[in-house]
Structure formats: C-alpha cells, structure tokens
Structure 1
Amino acid sequence: MADTYALLTETLERLAHATGERRDRLSDTFDAKELVQLSYETGLPVAVVVDLLNGGRAPRTSVSDRVRQRLVFLRETRRREDGGRYTYAELGEIAGVSRQALTAWFDTGVPNLESADLLRRHFGASAGFLTADEPEVLNEALQPKLMDAQATMGSLTPELQASPAFRRIATRARDMSDEKLEALAKWADMITERG
C-alpha cells in the first residue's frame, strides 16, 4: 500500500518547484477562492487543506468517519437547482434507497457501495471522494493545478525557469484579470526599460 503522505509530499514538492513558492508556504500559491474550490473537490475543510498544503497532517479518521463527514459535506455544499439543500428523501431517491436507509448512512458512515457511488456520480465527485484518506484526496485534486503550473513553467526560457520569483509571478498571472495583467505588464516594462 502506498504511503499517501509521501505521494502528496512528492506532488507538493513538484508544485513548489513549478510555482517558485517555498514548500512550507505552498498555500500562499492559492487564493481564498481556490482553497474553497479544493475543499469542495475533496470534501475536506479549508483549514485541513491549508495544513496539508503546508506540510502538516490531517487528524486521523476511520473510513466510516470519513464517509460520514463527506456525506454531510456533500449535503451541505451541493444544492438543488433552486438553491435549496437536498432533503434526505431526495438524496435517497438519487442513490436508489429509502430516506430511512440514507439517514442510517449519515449515522453509521457505512453506505451500500453501489448506492453511494450513484450519489457521488450525481454530484460529480471524484471516485475516491467518500473513502480516500485526506492526503490521497487532496493529491488527486492537485494534479490539474500541477499540470497547469508545469505547462506555464515549460513555456519559459531556461533563465526564467531558474528564477523562483519569476515562476511565482507566471503561475499567479494566469488567474489575474485583464486589468491586473495590463498593470503588471506596464510595471515590468517600466523596470526593464533601458536608459
């Protein structure tokens, strides 16, 4: 069995290298909206996401506790089209079980696997969303961010790739508004002007 903390550490080191951030301050690479998005994708509280990004450890949880916590998280964070929270009866219908069976899942954290998978798929959650441990589910969610950062770095000249400060700017720039990019370009032009 793979050490999920070791796998996450490897991803975080690669992400730190690609973004130019210090490994112990990697959460600074993400703005508040991105941290909330990582929480949404993983089912982890934002504070746990930040701790893991900065090399910390998540509190130990059993699989049944994780499933229970993430079922509650799904119910709290996913909304119906009208913005309302799903009822137990509606979630049971999605999962193909009765409201009583679904309520028991929330109590025990032990769902029927096929029904839990229907629920997970309905909400577009990853395959390991309900059961993966904290470092594993975050590692999976970070893969697209890592690929984007590496693609950004790959488009830089070797001299710029060697500069952690420039990598930080390049990584953050892709999420900036057009106005901020224009201001950054003007500033860069001003400080690099010869004469």
Structure 2
Amino acid sequence: MRDPRQSLAETLRHIDSLLGDGQSRGDVLDARQLSITSGVPQDVVEILLNGRQAPDEDITDRIIRRITHLRETRRRPDGSRHSYDEIASSFGATRASLSNLVNGRGRARGSTQPAREAGQRQSRSGGPLASTQAGVERFFFGEPNGWLSAEPESALNEALRPVLAGLRTAGGPDSYSGNRAMALRTAATLPDDEWELVERFINTLVRQVREEREQGS
C-alpha cells in the first residue's frame, strides 16, 4: 500500500502544476471547506498543505471526534443535528450506547489510565467500536467507507480529488501547455533512481522507433 503522505504530496504537486499564472494554492484551496469535507481539523489541514506532518492522534479519539464532526457538519434539511437516537437506531444500537461512547471518552481522559492506552485497547478489541464505526458511516454515507478512521493524509487527499478534477477540467483535456507543464514539473520532482528508469525507457523507445523507420526505408 502506498504511503499516504506520498500520495498527498503527489496530489498537491499535480494541483500546483495546473495553477494558472499568478495563482497560488490559497486561490483554489479553502482550508475550512477541506476540513469540513475531510473531518481533519482546520489547523491540521493547513499543516498538511504546508508539507508538514500531522500530530499524532489515537485512532479511537479520531473516530469519536469525527462522529461529533459529522453531527455538526452534516445536518438535517432544517439545520438541526441528527440525534444520537436517530443515528444509533439505524444500525440496531441504543442512544445510550452511542452517546456514552462519544461523551464518555472525554471522561476517560481524566482517569488514571492514559488515554492512548485506553484507546488502543478499545481499538484492538474491535466489536462495539468497529460496528459503531460501520453503522455511523452507513448512516451518513450510505455504506461503510473508512471515513471515520482514515489517516489525516488520506482523508485530506480524498477531499482534494474534486479540486484536482475541477482544475483538470478547467484546463481542458487537450490543453497542451497545461499537460506539458504538469509533465515537466512531475519529472523534476522524481528521485534519481526513478528518473533513471524514465530516461532508459525514453532512450529505448527512441531507439526502437529509429530501427523501425530504418527497416521501412
């Protein structure tokens, strides 16, 4: 599996390559909206967009924080939040079980047991937390999709896909200058070993074309 940080960096390079003259990332990337879409806190979104590493976060804390985030940002048509009872009953759980999971996590941090240790034990146990994650994701997204537990880099990368697609569409599929600029900038960022592979491939391709032309003459 590819490193999420590498995938995010590649997406950001592609976005940079498609920006018009005088444009910067800030002109097309809205950190607040990306935070709402990805579930990554806005300050962490800004950290990742600047090429720095996201701070560590316990996976259970992340799942519970994003459940709260979904209730705040994916509301009913009338603007009210979905109730714990409404969400929990959709996957056969009780209001109390979901409410206690979300609200009880904060109380657990005040106990003598380190929060990270408690979270790791609950995460490893699967069962209730795993079924809750799947149920909440199904309620908000229609199916379990890993959104609640996704690493910040992966979550932000997914939120950037529509932005990248929009820039590609705006540039047009036949935009020679845009495609050429993207290819040149991507090539310039390749590490030496990967660039050598590309160079050998190009040289081999040129040699084969020459040989075919000589045979046909």
How well do the aligned residues superpose, as a CA RMSD in angstroms? 3.0
Amino acid across the alignment from 1:76: E
| 2:103 corresponds to 1:86 | no
| 2:31 corresponds to 1:35 | yes
Q: Is the 8 A contact 1:14 1:146 kept in 2?
A: yes
Q: How does 1:104-183 map to 2 (within 5 A)?
A: 104-106=100-102, 107-108=104-105, 111-124=128-141, 127-155=145-173, 157-159=175-177
Q: Which has the larger radius of gyration?
A: 2
Question: Which whole-Å deviations, capped at 9, do the CAs of 1:85-129 have from their partners, x for residues lacking one?
Answer: 233222222332111210233134755433422321322288231
Distance 1:21 1:52 in 2: 24
Distance 1:155 1:15 in 2: 15
Question: Which whole-Å deviations, capped at 9, do the CAs of 1:8-57 have from their partners, x for residues lacking one?
Answer: 0011111111124899x523422xxx433322221112222222122222
Name the SS for the 2:46 alignment partner: helix
Amino acid across the alignment from 1:116: Q
Q: Offset of 1:157 from its aligned partner?
A: 4.5
Unaligned stretches of 5+ residues in structure 1: 165-195
Structure 1 counterpart of 2:61: 65
Distance 1:64 1:22 in 2: 42
Give TM-score, length-normalised by structure 2: 0.62
Amino acid across the alignment from 1:26: R
Unaligned stretches of 5+ residues in structure 2: 106-118, 183-217
| 2:10 corresponds to 1:10 | yes
Percent sequence identity over matched residues? 34
Structure 2 counterpart of 1:77: 73
Equivalenced residue count is: 160
Structure 2 counterpart of 1:103: 99
Q: 1:159 to 1:90 in 2, by over 3 A?
A: closer
Q: 1:118 to 1:10 in 2, by over 3 A?
A: same
Runs of 4+ in 1 over 4 A off after TM superposition: 20-23, 108-111, 159-164
